[in-house]
């Protein structure tokens, strides 16, 4: 294919476009700009002042989230049946008891040798398997129920008196739900 006719057509079109730019009469633009320069300058309004942001202290962080699963009736009956609640200080601490309950995340479940396990991720990135009866969290949290989507724990926390203890149910939901 011969490239010469295309090149010739492109050069003619380019020359026509450049010819349109020559010999411009810019007197109307000069007149317009002269009129605008003669007008007095306007007053620029000052920048508005804004009030400083005041941080809000949320005081309900220690309460149960309204989005958490409510306590089931059978769990309440179990809690009321226990008269003398006290943590077992002679029990050897398990590895996940060094972390706060809220820092632990459920990442899956596993069944091995007819035993159901729940996979828990600690804040350091380690993944650990736990089963019914294991402990986790800093408040003597014992695992009492496990499903594919959540892990139920009963913690033993002080009621504020010298020898008083109460049980507190907590749950960890599967991450991503």
Token pair for 5: 């006719």
**Residue recorded with tokens 């069944």:** 111
According to the model, what pLDDT value does residue 106 have? 94
pLDDT tens profile 32-89: 999 888 888 778 888 888 888 888 877 777 677 777 666 554 555 555 545 568 888 8
According to the model, what pLDDT value does residue 177 have? 54
pLDDT tens profile 6-29: 888 888 888 887 776 666 677 888
Are 133 and 67 in contact by the 8 Å Cβ rule? The answer is no
According to the model, what pLDDT value does residue 154 have? 92
According to the model, what pLDDT value does residue 81 have? 46
Give domain 90-173's CATH number out of 3.20.20.70, 2.40.30.10, 3.40.50.410, 2.30.30.830: 2.30.30.830
Which one-letter DSSP state was computed for residue 109?
A: E
**Residue recorded with tokens 């003619």:** 12
Token pair for 54: 């005041």
Are 103 and 112 in contact by the 8 Å Cβ rule? The answer is no
């Amino acid at each position: 294919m011969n490239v010469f006719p295309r090149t010739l057509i492109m050069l003619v079109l380019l020359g026509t476009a450049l010819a349109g730019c020559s010999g411009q009469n810019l007197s109307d633009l000069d007149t317009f700009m002269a009129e605008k320069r003669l007008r007095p300058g306007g007053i620029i309004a000052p920048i508005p002042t804004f009030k400083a942001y005041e941080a809000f202290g949320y005081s309900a962080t220690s309460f149960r989230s309204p989005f958490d699963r409510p306590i089931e009736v059978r769990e309440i009956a179990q809690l009321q049946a226990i008269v003398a609640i006290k943590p077992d200080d002679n029990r050897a601490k398990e590895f996940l008891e060094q972390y706060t309950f809220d820092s632990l995340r459920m990442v899956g479940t596993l069944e091995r040798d007819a035993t159901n396990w729940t996979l828990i991720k600690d804040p350091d990135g380690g993944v650990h398997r736990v089963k019914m009866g294991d402990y986790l969290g800093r408040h003597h949290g014992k695992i009492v129920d496990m499903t594919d989507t959540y892990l139920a724990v009963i913690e033993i926390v002080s009621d504020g008196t010298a020898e008083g203890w109460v049980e507190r149910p907590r749950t960890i939901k599967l991450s991503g739900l």
